[in-house]
Structure 1
Amino acid sequence: MPGSLAAFLIVSLFASSVSAGVYTWTDADGVVHFSDRQPLSRNHDIVTLTEPSVVPMSENIEQGRRVSTINQQVSRSLERSSSDGRSSGTGKKADARHQKTCDGYRKRLARIQQQLRAGYSNDRGNRLRRQRREVSQALSRECLLR
Protein backbone atom coordinates (compact mmCIF):
# COMPACT_ATOMS: atom_id res chain seq x y z
CA MET A 1 0.00 0.00 0.00
CA PRO A 2 2.73 2.56 0.85
CA GLY A 3 4.44 1.74 -2.44
CA SER A 4 1.26 2.40 -4.38
CA LEU A 5 0.76 5.69 -2.56
CA ALA A 6 4.31 6.73 -3.40
CA ALA A 7 3.77 5.76 -7.03
CA PHE A 8 0.56 7.79 -7.12
CA LEU A 9 2.33 10.82 -5.67
CA ILE A 10 5.13 10.55 -8.21
CA VAL A 11 2.62 10.26 -11.02
CA SER A 12 0.72 13.25 -9.60
CA LEU A 13 3.88 15.35 -9.57
CA PHE A 14 4.50 14.64 -13.21
CA ALA A 15 0.84 14.91 -14.19
CA SER A 16 1.34 18.23 -15.90
CA SER A 17 3.71 16.60 -18.39
CA VAL A 18 1.42 13.61 -18.98
CA SER A 19 -0.93 14.38 -21.84
CA ALA A 20 -2.58 11.00 -22.50
CA GLY A 21 -3.74 10.17 -18.97
CA VAL A 22 -2.93 7.99 -16.01
CA TYR A 23 -4.11 4.41 -15.79
CA THR A 24 -4.39 2.26 -12.69
CA TRP A 25 -5.02 -1.44 -12.21
CA THR A 26 -4.56 -4.18 -9.63
CA ASP A 27 -2.64 -7.31 -10.54
CA ALA A 28 -3.33 -10.88 -9.35
CA ASP A 29 -1.17 -10.37 -6.23
CA GLY A 30 -3.22 -7.33 -5.18
CA VAL A 31 -0.52 -4.79 -6.09
CA VAL A 32 -1.89 -1.49 -7.43
CA HIS A 33 -0.06 -0.13 -10.47
CA PHE A 34 -0.06 3.35 -12.05
CA SER A 35 1.14 4.07 -15.55
CA ASP A 36 0.86 6.57 -18.38
CA ARG A 37 0.49 3.65 -20.80
CA GLN A 38 -2.77 1.76 -21.07
CA PRO A 39 -2.37 -1.91 -20.09
CA LEU A 40 -3.33 -4.23 -22.95
CA SER A 41 -4.59 -7.32 -21.16
CA ARG A 42 -5.96 -5.97 -17.88
CA ASN A 43 -9.05 -4.17 -16.69
CA HIS A 44 -8.01 -0.67 -15.73
CA ASP A 45 -9.36 2.64 -14.52
CA ILE A 46 -8.42 6.13 -15.70
CA VAL A 47 -7.20 8.43 -12.95
CA THR A 48 -8.45 11.98 -13.28
CA LEU A 49 -5.84 14.44 -12.08
CA THR A 50 -6.80 17.96 -11.16
CA GLU A 51 -4.61 21.02 -11.23
CA PRO A 52 -2.96 21.76 -7.89
CA SER A 53 -4.43 24.64 -5.96
CA VAL A 54 -2.20 27.67 -5.76
CA VAL A 55 -2.36 30.10 -2.85
CA PRO A 56 -0.97 33.56 -3.58
CA MET A 57 1.69 34.39 -1.05
CA SER A 58 2.16 38.05 -1.98
CA GLU A 59 -0.40 39.17 0.63
CA ASN A 60 1.37 37.18 3.35
CA ILE A 61 4.73 38.64 2.37
CA GLU A 62 3.35 42.20 2.47
CA GLN A 63 1.70 41.55 5.86
CA GLY A 64 5.02 40.22 7.16
CA ARG A 65 6.77 43.41 6.02
CA ARG A 66 4.15 45.55 7.78
CA VAL A 67 4.55 43.57 11.00
CA SER A 68 8.35 43.86 10.80
CA THR A 69 8.09 47.62 10.30
CA ILE A 70 5.78 47.96 13.30
CA ASN A 71 8.13 45.84 15.44
CA GLN A 72 11.06 48.06 14.47
CA GLN A 73 9.09 51.21 15.30
CA VAL A 74 8.12 49.82 18.70
CA SER A 75 11.72 48.81 19.41
CA ARG A 76 13.00 52.28 18.49
CA SER A 77 10.31 53.87 20.65
CA LEU A 78 11.25 51.68 23.60
CA GLU A 79 14.94 52.48 23.14
CA ARG A 80 14.20 56.21 23.07
CA SER A 81 11.98 56.03 26.14
CA SER A 82 14.56 54.07 28.13
CA SER A 83 17.32 56.52 27.20
CA ASP A 84 15.21 59.59 28.10
CA GLY A 85 16.44 60.85 31.43
CA ARG A 86 13.72 63.25 32.52
CA SER A 87 14.88 66.03 34.76
CA SER A 88 12.86 66.84 37.86
CA GLY A 89 12.31 70.58 37.11
CA THR A 90 9.98 70.98 34.13
CA GLY A 91 9.52 67.23 33.89
CA LYS A 92 6.83 67.25 36.58
CA LYS A 93 4.54 69.48 34.51
CA ALA A 94 5.17 67.39 31.43
CA ASP A 95 4.52 64.21 33.40
CA ALA A 96 1.25 65.63 34.72
CA ARG A 97 0.13 66.60 31.20
CA HIS A 98 1.11 63.19 29.93
CA GLN A 99 -0.79 61.47 32.75
CA LYS A 100 -3.87 63.61 32.02
CA THR A 101 -3.70 62.68 28.33
CA CYS A 102 -3.41 58.97 29.18
CA ASP A 103 -6.34 59.19 31.59
CA GLY A 104 -8.39 60.85 28.84
CA TYR A 105 -7.62 57.97 26.48
CA ARG A 106 -8.60 55.44 29.13
CA LYS A 107 -11.90 57.24 29.82
CA ARG A 108 -12.72 57.44 26.11
CA LEU A 109 -11.91 53.77 25.71
CA ALA A 110 -14.13 52.84 28.68
CA ARG A 111 -17.00 54.94 27.26
CA ILE A 112 -16.69 53.27 23.83
CA GLN A 113 -16.59 49.83 25.47
CA GLN A 114 -19.72 50.68 27.44
CA GLN A 115 -21.53 51.78 24.27
CA LEU A 116 -20.51 48.57 22.51
CA ARG A 117 -21.85 46.46 25.39
CA ALA A 118 -25.14 48.40 25.38
CA GLY A 119 -26.00 47.28 21.85
CA TYR A 120 -25.84 48.97 18.50
CA SER A 121 -26.81 48.86 14.84
CA ASN A 122 -24.34 47.61 12.25
CA ASP A 123 -23.21 51.06 11.13
CA ARG A 124 -22.90 52.37 14.67
CA GLY A 125 -21.08 49.20 15.77
CA ASN A 126 -18.56 49.55 12.95
CA ARG A 127 -17.97 53.18 13.88
CA LEU A 128 -17.53 52.31 17.57
CA ARG A 129 -15.12 49.48 16.79
CA ARG A 130 -13.08 51.82 14.56
CA GLN A 131 -12.98 54.42 17.34
CA ARG A 132 -11.98 51.76 19.87
CA ARG A 133 -9.15 50.64 17.61
CA GLU A 134 -7.89 54.20 17.10
CA VAL A 135 -8.06 55.11 20.80
CA SER A 136 -6.40 51.82 21.80
CA GLN A 137 -3.57 52.43 19.35
CA ALA A 138 -3.11 55.99 20.61
CA LEU A 139 -3.13 54.79 24.22
CA SER A 140 -0.54 52.11 23.43
CA ARG A 141 1.63 54.43 21.41
CA GLU A 142 1.60 57.40 23.79
CA CYS A 143 1.14 55.83 27.20
CA LEU A 144 2.11 52.18 27.37
CA LEU A 145 5.23 52.30 25.18
CA ARG A 146 6.73 55.37 26.84
Structure 2
Amino acid sequence: MPRILAPLVLVGVCCAQAHGEVYTWKDSEGVAHFSDRPPEQASHQQVRIRRPSTVSMSDNLGQQRRVSGIREQVRELLAAPSRSTPAGSPEFADHRGERQRRCDGYRTRLARIQSQLRAGYSSKKGNTLRRQRRELSQNISRECMLR
Protein backbone atom coordinates (compact mmCIF):
# COMPACT_ATOMS: atom_id res chain seq x y z
CA MET A 1 0.00 0.00 0.00
CA PRO A 2 2.75 2.57 0.82
CA ARG A 3 4.32 1.89 -2.60
CA ILE A 4 1.09 2.93 -4.33
CA LEU A 5 0.41 5.88 -2.04
CA ALA A 6 3.88 7.46 -2.28
CA PRO A 7 3.74 8.29 -6.02
CA LEU A 8 0.26 9.73 -5.64
CA VAL A 9 1.39 11.98 -2.80
CA LEU A 10 4.43 13.07 -4.82
CA VAL A 11 2.28 13.98 -7.83
CA GLY A 12 -0.16 15.85 -5.58
CA VAL A 13 2.62 17.89 -3.97
CA CYS A 14 4.15 18.76 -7.33
CA CYS A 15 0.80 19.84 -8.75
CA ALA A 16 -0.10 21.87 -5.69
CA GLN A 17 3.16 23.81 -5.78
CA ALA A 18 2.92 24.64 -9.47
CA HIS A 19 1.14 27.92 -9.85
CA GLY A 20 -0.86 28.42 -12.98
CA GLU A 21 -0.42 31.35 -15.26
CA VAL A 22 -3.36 32.92 -17.03
CA TYR A 23 -3.15 34.75 -20.34
CA THR A 24 -5.70 36.96 -22.04
CA TRP A 25 -6.03 38.25 -25.59
CA LYS A 26 -8.67 39.47 -28.02
CA ASP A 27 -9.27 37.84 -31.36
CA SER A 28 -10.01 39.59 -34.65
CA GLU A 29 -13.72 39.85 -33.75
CA GLY A 30 -13.00 41.52 -30.40
CA VAL A 31 -13.85 38.48 -28.26
CA ALA A 32 -11.74 38.19 -25.11
CA HIS A 33 -10.14 34.83 -24.44
CA PHE A 34 -8.47 33.43 -21.32
CA SER A 35 -6.18 30.43 -21.19
CA ASP A 36 -3.37 28.83 -19.24
CA ARG A 37 -1.25 28.82 -22.43
CA PRO A 38 -0.35 31.95 -24.39
CA PRO A 39 -1.56 32.08 -28.00
CA GLU A 40 1.11 31.51 -30.60
CA GLN A 41 0.16 34.22 -33.10
CA ALA A 42 -1.80 36.83 -31.13
CA SER A 43 -0.46 39.48 -28.81
CA HIS A 44 -1.42 38.66 -25.26
CA GLN A 45 -1.07 39.78 -21.66
CA GLN A 46 -0.42 37.77 -18.57
CA VAL A 47 -3.16 38.19 -15.96
CA ARG A 48 -2.04 38.77 -12.39
CA ILE A 49 -4.29 36.86 -10.06
CA ARG A 50 -4.39 38.11 -6.50
CA ARG A 51 -5.14 35.93 -3.56
CA PRO A 52 -8.70 36.39 -2.31
CA SER A 53 -9.10 38.24 0.94
CA THR A 54 -10.83 36.24 3.61
CA VAL A 55 -12.52 37.12 6.86
CA SER A 56 -12.98 34.54 9.54
CA MET A 57 -16.54 33.57 10.37
CA SER A 58 -16.18 34.75 13.97
CA ASP A 59 -15.01 38.22 12.81
CA ASN A 60 -17.88 38.38 10.34
CA LEU A 61 -20.44 37.42 12.98
CA GLY A 62 -18.96 39.93 15.45
CA GLN A 63 -19.26 42.72 12.89
CA GLN A 64 -22.87 41.71 12.17
CA ARG A 65 -23.69 41.90 15.91
CA ARG A 66 -22.09 45.36 16.18
CA VAL A 67 -24.03 46.66 13.17
CA SER A 68 -27.30 45.19 14.48
CA GLY A 69 -26.68 46.83 17.86
CA ILE A 70 -26.08 50.22 16.25
CA ARG A 71 -29.27 49.89 14.17
CA GLU A 72 -31.26 49.06 17.28
CA GLN A 73 -29.83 52.09 19.11
CA VAL A 74 -30.77 54.35 16.19
CA ARG A 75 -34.31 52.94 16.09
CA GLU A 76 -34.71 53.52 19.83
CA LEU A 77 -33.44 57.08 19.58
CA LEU A 78 -35.73 57.89 16.68
CA ALA A 79 -38.77 56.17 18.20
CA ALA A 80 -38.60 57.97 21.56
CA PRO A 81 -39.90 61.56 21.32
CA SER A 82 -38.18 62.49 24.56
CA ARG A 83 -36.85 60.70 27.60
CA SER A 84 -39.55 62.21 29.83
CA THR A 85 -42.55 61.12 27.71
CA PRO A 86 -43.70 57.53 28.35
CA ALA A 87 -44.70 55.50 25.31
CA GLY A 88 -48.35 55.03 26.37
CA SER A 89 -49.05 58.66 27.25
CA PRO A 90 -51.23 61.02 25.18
CA GLU A 91 -48.19 63.29 24.65
CA PHE A 92 -46.43 60.39 22.96
CA ALA A 93 -49.38 59.86 20.60
CA ASP A 94 -49.50 63.61 19.86
CA HIS A 95 -45.80 63.60 19.11
CA ARG A 96 -46.21 60.60 16.79
CA GLY A 97 -49.09 62.32 14.96
CA GLU A 98 -47.05 65.52 14.63
CA ARG A 99 -44.12 63.58 13.22
CA GLN A 100 -46.42 61.85 10.72
CA ARG A 101 -47.85 65.21 9.57
CA ARG A 102 -44.33 66.62 9.21
CA CYS A 103 -43.20 63.58 7.18
CA ASP A 104 -46.28 63.80 4.96
CA GLY A 105 -45.49 67.46 4.37
CA TYR A 106 -41.90 66.61 3.40
CA ARG A 107 -43.12 63.99 0.95
CA THR A 108 -45.71 66.34 -0.58
CA ARG A 109 -43.11 69.09 -1.05
CA LEU A 110 -40.65 66.58 -2.48
CA ALA A 111 -43.23 65.33 -5.01
CA ARG A 112 -43.97 68.92 -6.07
CA ILE A 113 -40.26 69.65 -6.57
CA GLN A 114 -39.81 66.43 -8.54
CA SER A 115 -42.65 67.39 -10.88
CA GLN A 116 -41.14 70.86 -11.35
CA LEU A 117 -37.79 69.32 -12.21
CA ARG A 118 -39.41 66.98 -14.74
CA ALA A 119 -41.38 69.85 -16.32
CA GLY A 120 -38.27 71.84 -17.21
CA TYR A 121 -36.58 74.82 -15.66
CA SER A 122 -33.92 77.46 -16.12
CA SER A 123 -30.42 76.67 -14.93
CA LYS A 124 -30.62 78.89 -11.82
CA LYS A 125 -34.06 77.60 -10.85
CA GLY A 126 -32.93 73.99 -11.41
CA ASN A 127 -30.02 74.41 -9.00
CA THR A 128 -32.38 75.78 -6.35
CA LEU A 129 -34.86 72.94 -6.89
CA ARG A 130 -32.12 70.31 -6.68
CA ARG A 131 -30.82 71.86 -3.43
CA GLN A 132 -34.35 71.82 -1.97
CA ARG A 133 -34.83 68.21 -3.10
CA ARG A 134 -31.55 67.22 -1.43
CA GLU A 135 -32.53 68.94 1.85
CA LEU A 136 -36.00 67.36 1.87
CA SER A 137 -34.57 63.92 1.12
CA GLN A 138 -32.16 64.31 4.03
CA ASN A 139 -35.01 65.35 6.34
CA ILE A 140 -37.07 62.35 5.27
CA SER A 141 -34.11 60.04 5.85
CA ARG A 142 -33.39 61.50 9.27
CA GLU A 143 -36.92 61.79 10.60
CA CYS A 144 -39.17 59.41 8.70
CA MET A 145 -37.36 56.37 7.31
CA LEU A 146 -36.92 54.13 10.36
CA ARG A 147 -40.55 54.28 11.38
**TM-score of the two chains, using structure 1 as the length reference:** 0.44
**TM-score of the two chains, using structure 2 as the length reference:** 0.44
